[in-house]
Each structure stands twice: as structure tokens, then as C-alpha cells.
């Protein structure tokens, strides 16, 4: 039985919601982030806790409105107030072996672009972080009987600012 892992969802969001760019946008800000699965209500027998991956997030601003990208592909938009970022993807559809599924991503983070501003905890090794937040994938519709609408995958996201 195929499992719907959060990173597969994120990769699908990036692929389905934007077009790749060849170079980094010099007007965007970048963070190298690590994602760690911390919680799931989607499969009682699925051990997603501890699943991890890494990406470079690119964030563009237009006033307080934001666009978040991976490899130049937009996967969500949101708003920033001070150091607090809230973002959400649109509804993404995905055909699976068990049937069609729709989901969206909801995220929040405390971010900084280097320096000492914003109160962000250090990682487990005591290293300073510039991105600290949570992303939740919510299944909004499912024809796959192994995946119930309303279930969630939660990811811890933490990272460091990348100077261009």
C-alpha cells in the first residue's frame, strides 16, 4: 500500500504550482532548511515521525505579502508581520494508486535574515537558527480508502539564512 509522505507532498506542490527558474532570484532571501516529521494522524501504522529532508527555501516580499519557492517553484504564499511568517499553499490534487487525493500545506515560522533580531531558539546542538516553524499538510479530499480526509502530517522546519 502506497504511503503519502509529507516530503512527497511538498515536492508535488513545487512541481505543480510553479515554473522552474535557472538562477536564484537576487531579490529573494534564502534559507537552508531541514524538515523533520513530528506527527501524523493519517496512518496509525505509518511511522513518519523522524522522516526528514532538506531544501533551500526562497522567499520574496511585496510589502507584507510573501511568495515561498523551492528551486524557483512557488509552493505557497503568505504574509509576514515583523519576524512572524504565515503561509499556505492552494489546494493541490494528486492521482495516487488508491485514488485521487487533494491536500494543502499550512505553515508558520519565525524568521530572520541573519543578525540577532527576532527571538528564535537554537537547534538541539546549540547552533543559532534563522528559520523556526511548523508545516502541516492537511488532506482535504480523498478517494483513497487508506487516507482519510481531514488527517494531517506535521513537519518541524528549521534552518539558517543563506548569504548570496
Determine the Cα–Cα distance for residues 125 and 122; give it in Å rounded to an integer.
Answer: 8
Q: DSSP 3-state assignment of 8?
A: helix
> What pLDDT does residue 82 have?
92
> What pLDDT does residue 92 have?
92
> What pLDDT does residue 161 have?
94
Task: Annotate 89-138 with three-state secondary structure.
Answer: CCCEEEEECCEEEEEEEEEEEEECCCCCCCCCCCCCCCCCCCEEEEEEEE
Statement: residue 15 has pLDDT above 80: no
The mean pLDDT of 143-153, rounded to a whole number, is: 91
pLDDT for 20-42, tens place per residue?
444 678 889 999 999 999 988 98
Counting residues of the chain whose pLDDT is more than 70, the rounded percentage is 82
The mean pLDDT of 139-154, rounded to a whole number, is: 93
Statement: residue 140 has pLDDT above 90: yes
> What pLDDT does residue 25 have?
83
pLDDT for 37-70, tens place per residue?
998 898 765 566 678 899 999 999 999 999 999 9
Residue 116 CB partners (closer than 8 Å, separation 6+): none
Amino acid at each position: 500500500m502506497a504511503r503519502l509522505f509529507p516530503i512527497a507532498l511538498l515536492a508535488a506542490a513545487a512541481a505543480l504550482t510553479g515554473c522552474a527558474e535557472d538562477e536564484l532570484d537576487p531579490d529573494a532571501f534564502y534559507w537552508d532548511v531541514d524538515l523533520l516529521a513530528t506527527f501524523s494522524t493519517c496512518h496509525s501504522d505509518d511511522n513518519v515521525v523522524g522522516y526528514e529532508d532538506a531544501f533551500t527555501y526562497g522567499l520574496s516580499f511585496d510589502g507584507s505579502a510573501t511568495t515561498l519557492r523551492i528551486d524557483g517553484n512557488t509552493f505557497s504564499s503568505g504574509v509576514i508581520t515583523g519576524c512572524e511568517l504565515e503561509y499556505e499553499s492552494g489546494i493541490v490534487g494528486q492521482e495516487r494508486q488508491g485514488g485521487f487525493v487533494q491536500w494543502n500545506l499550512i505553515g508558520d515560522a519565525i524568521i530572520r535574515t541573519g543578525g540577532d533580531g527576532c527571538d528564535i531558539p537554537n537547534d538541539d546542538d546549540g547552533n543559532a537558527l534563522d528559520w523556526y516553524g511548523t508545516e502541516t499538510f492537511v488532506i482535504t479530499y480523498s478517494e483513497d480508502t487508506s487516507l482519510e480526509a481531514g488527517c494531517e502530517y506535521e513537519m518541524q522546519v528549521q534552518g539558517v539564512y543563506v548569504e548570496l
